[in-house]
Amino acid sequence: MNTTNQYLDAVKARYSLASDYAIAKKLGLSPNSVRNYRRGITTMDENVSYLVAEMLEISPEQVIVAAQIEREKKPELRAVWESIFRKVGGVAAASLLALGLTASPTPADAKTASNSDTICIMLSRKRKKKASPFSLIGQLSAAH
């Protein structure tokens, strides 16, 4: 399972952001909010979790449930959320690690490459329509 810090780091890498201040600006949050996420003082709510998932092009359910796991204090309820995470986000979690390690080149890097003997190709994929975060309820009902 990925943590809030790992998701924030993935956003930082994906968009070549230099700081937590830049992450906050990209997410439309105050720098203090991101600082509190980093320190574990607060956790991302469903809206921020959904936005992070959209930015990373991963399952919103995965990020929402991961935030709920971090938020949950009772061990027995945390175990339930972890079980849900395995059902909705286990496979996608590995893709986030790869995403964080393979950031796309910035436009400046691409321009620099075009002035040398190196060829830089940047791909643009069409985004697949994501399911609503509330489709988790339907998935859980079907699993039982």
Q: Which of 1, 21, 11 is CA-nearest to residue 63?
A: 1
Query: Mean per-residue pLDDT for 52-78?
Result: 89
Domain of 105? Answer: 4-124+131-143
Give the chain's domain count. 1
**What is the model's pTM?**
0.60
Q: Of residues 97 and 29, which shows the higher confidence score?
A: 29
pLDDT at 61: 87
Average pLDDT of the segment spanning 85-95 = 62
124 pLDDT higher than 50: no
Q: What pLDDT was estimated at residue 67? A: 87
> Residue 85's pLDDT is what?
82
Tokens encoding 91: 């496979």
| CA 74-80-81 angle, 5° bins | 90
What is the rounded distance in angstroms from the CA atom of residue 23 to the CA atom of residue 27?
Answer: 6
